[in-house]
Structure 1
């Protein structure tokens, strides 16, 4: 399969966030083969699509619990721990595997329509979740949720995902759409010994570990009193050193940040969820300056309550600016890179998050027939980026390709009937209330 996408503006999301004018993206066998100005493009023998607007890489949602769309709106005015204990966990206890599939299917549809082609999911019933992702045509890094609660011992959950990885491999599916990994929930749910053992299994297999860290001040108070901080606990327990994604990470000390930088830990910054649950504001500028890899996550659609990564990019930049009182703390280009290249780096993936030769051809087409782009695409580069990040966002996402396959056309998913997916979630939600 060979496809050339030709557009007035291409944003490859390279480290300098270049703006390419009158440019092409060539796709061969699902991967990017060439990106650059049309005038310099090599001869091409394949389908050519002439597009208006802007092309950019698929956004990378570095932390989500997307099946929770079936719980959207529950406990919306509660703080984090009460929200978990009084609203989420009782409702989740009623969920069956097919509920997870219904929720993930609509979640994947919602994300694709918002330009999100990859999500890192921590949840249960992985086979159903993965099946939904493959049906929608998106990508997932599935971290099997591992908890240690009454009636939910951690070891069988760990053994189950280990067997799955050993049987099917770390990545599989069409164009490696699925990656398996471990999702030990947190240091306040699991002991240091359990966390260390899970991380050791992950390191042996090159798998990603997704773990919640320092989301709110109250949640891990006992761990901080015993160990100084959760990052210190993780370091001493042998959790760090492999591929580790630390979700939220709102309340980190400068020493914690250095621990993360030293071990190459990625951070999933979730500003929408953090502000809605009044958990706090992570000082991500200091994290990036220290060399920590930072991406953006929506968290679950019951705590955010949407799956809109452009919104997270805007929030991340706005919060960084107002807390530092520095309007240059996170620029529009920085925010876009957090949602693309940064998320891929935080997850330890160098094949996603940018339009570069060799990476998967996950491409988003943004239509510019909108007041947000009234100043035109011939405006200066900084203005084009500003209009995309600050003014347009997801509402003008028109087409999406994953590994060169068109999975969104004119704003609607091609593989899944959105209205049927919505009806499926409505049926599940009515039973869980």
Structure 2
């Protein structure tokens, strides 16, 4: 496992500490945090007790660890689709010919395990202390496997990351017909088997690694799930009392597909089959009736808020695709619980807060619509609320000792009147210095025990190159790789 817990109380101090009082974060100049045996025992000034170790973080902010409700756990392929469009012509949707030949895994079992360890180290490097992993099923034979998630549990234990794990499953997927049209293929029996495996995983792994490993259910995307699969998933959530995450309302195509398949928009359908609850976490929610001009059959936002579901807001990946929440402010005012997700590389929660703040203000054309506190709260308290964890997302006596230290000493950070506002102006995940999870110092001054960042970079590129080489038979018309992914400017000379 990552470094064992310190023996005796540890006192950390910095120019700024984010404490928590009366249900809200507070800023403590020259504050102190003391943790012992995995829990916070003091936040404030002039701790009166004896300590075993003192760590002065200097010109920095000590705050609660970030909670990532949609944390990348594979090799990100956003770079392949940044400019190479449309997606269905560039291998982002399976062609019918590939479906007929039978889908296959694009990575070896060893590669899949390696990816989890690689991705988890990137999360810690960016100050994320609690993560709900997400990966693309496009590169898989169908769903995620027991073996890779056993590997994920082992990686989390080794690195000391707090995780909620569960292999993703689905009933169907989209494909491109020979005529260039998007259609659906469903195999409900396969989806139900995936659910059965996921339930067994929850029963086996819940609470492992001293409670760092928790479990969840992860049906993939709403349009690829049948009603039976979601009904049985919701029943399993009630039996197991675990979170369930379902990507929902993230595109006009998805919304219209659900409307066509089920006669209702996604929120209305989820409500009517009894899927919505306080355990439901729904990434994205960019397209809702009445807010995006997509249908007016039901007040989607109020349905979701009344149903108790939480939003996993992923501003960066959505903005890269040209979309954003119509109004963070209106979602918040409706009473919807809002947490944050990264869902792409880099898993930089600070960058996501920055993009979220900007796009929210653009949506309202009003700089007063939202503020830095709204997004810092979402990345900490909102994620904790979505998980039903009052012991996470805050630094107060009795909470788990999950801390992130963000350096403020780089000249690029600029001037400080309030450290949160400065970080949301000029900060980056690269400014994270030290991370403590459950009382273990899992990263100190950017160093993680047993992690060679350069070797990981080389390993990731080699596996990525091997995956890209397989694209032609998974792309409509089967063009060569260089036709699928064209460079920004013409190449002159050989590639090395």
How far did residue 327 of structure 1 move? 0.4
Q: Give yes or no for the alignment of 1:251 onto 2:274.
A: no
Checking the alignment, whether the CA contact within 8 Å between 1:104 and 1:132 is kept in structure 2 is yes
Task: Say if 2:355 is the partner of 1:315.
Answer: yes
The 3 A distance-change label for structure 1 pair 271 and 282 is farther
Pairing 1:44–2:50 present: yes
Q: Does 1:54 align with 2:66?
A: no
Other-structure match for 1:119:
131
SS in structure 1 opposite 2:171? coil
1:153 maps to which of 186, 190, 200? 190
2:442 matched to 1:413?
A: no
- Work out the CA distance in 1 between the residues paired with 2:154 and 2:287: 35
State the match for 2:75 in structure 1.
Answer: 68
Q: Which whole-Å deviations, capped at 9, do the CAs of 1:100-151 have from their partners, x for residues lacking one?
A: 2222222122221111112111342311222222222212112321112367
Q: Which residue of 2 aligns with 1:11?
A: 18
Q: Hey, what does 2:434 align to over in structure 1?
A: 399
In structure 1, the residue corresponding to 2:368 is in which secondary structure? coil
Structure 2: state its 5+ residue gaps: 1-6, 136-143, 173-185, 291-298, 469-496
Identify the residue that residue 177 of structure 1 maps to in structure 2: 212
Residue 262 of structure 1 corresponds to: 306
Q: Normalising by structure 2, what TM-score?
A: 0.79
Report deviation, 1:172: 2.0
Specify whether residues 233 and 33 from structure 1 end up closer, same or farther in structure 2 by C-alpha distance, changes over 3 A only.
same
Cross-structure match for 1:292: 336
Question: Aligned equivalents of 2:111 and 2:255: distance in 1?
Answer: 30
SS at structure 1 position matched to 2:246: strand
Match of 1:326 in 2: 366
Partner of 2:25, secondary structure, is: coil
Alpha-carbon distance between aligned partners in 2 of 1:333 and 1:429, rounded to the nearest angstrom: 37
Shift in alpha-carbon separation, 1:95–1:405, aligned structure 2, 3 A:
same
Instruction: Say whether residues 1:96 and 2:104 are aligned partners.
Output: no
Residue number among 460, 466, 469 corresponding to 1:425 in the alignment: 460
List aligned pairs for 1:181-196, cutoff 5 A: 181-196=216-231
> Which segments of 5 or more consecutive residues in structure 1 lack a partner in the other structure?
none
Alignment partner of 1:110 is 2:116: no
1:238 equivalent to 2:274? Answer yes
Q: Is the 8 A contact 1:97 1:128 kept in 2?
A: no
Taking the aligned partners of 2:258 and 2:197, their CA distance within structure 1 comes to 27
Q: Larger Rg: 1 or 2?
A: 2
State the alpha-carbon separation in 1 of the partners of residues 157 and 321 from structure 2. Answer: 31
Whether contact under 8 Å (2:278, 2:386) holds in the other structure is: no
> How far apart are 1:62 and its partner, in Å?
1.3
Q: Deviations over 1:214-256 (max 9, x none)?
A: 1011123132244431011111112112501001111123622
**2:393 pairs with 336, 353, 366, which one?**
353
RMSD over aligned Cα, in angstroms? Answer: 2.4
CA distance, structure 1, for counterparts of residue 202 and residue 73 of structure 2: 22
Does the 8 A contact of 1:102 with 1:425 survive in 2? no
User: In 2 relative to 1, CA 317–280 (structure 1 residues): closer, same or farther, beyond 3 Å?
Assistant: closer
CA contact (8 A) 2:326 2:363 kept: no
User: Deviation per CA, 1:309-345, whole angstroms, max 9, x where unpaired?
Assistant: 1110011110110110110222112221121111222
Change beyond 3 A, Cα 1:390–1:374:
closer
What whole-Å deviation, never above 9, does each CA across 1:262-292 have from its counterpart, x for those lacking one? 2221100111111212344342211111111
The separation in 2 between residues aligned to 1:224 and 1:134, in whole angstroms, is: 42
Q: CA deviation at 1:373?
A: 4.8
Output the CA distance in 2 between the equivalents of 1:23 and 1:428.
44
The equivalent of 2:257 in structure 1 is 222
Q: Relative to structure 1, is the Cα distance of residues 191 and 424 closer, same or farther in structure 2, using a 3 angstrom cutoff? A: same
Preserved contact between residue 182 and residue 198 of structure 1 (Cα < 8 Å): yes
Q: Structure 1 residues 214, 63: closer, same or farther in 2, change over 3 A?
A: same
Q: Deviations over 1:11-63 (max 9, x none)?
A: 13665431112211111111111211x23x33133222122121011111111
User: Structure 1: how far apart are the matches of 2:158 and 2:412?
Assistant: 33
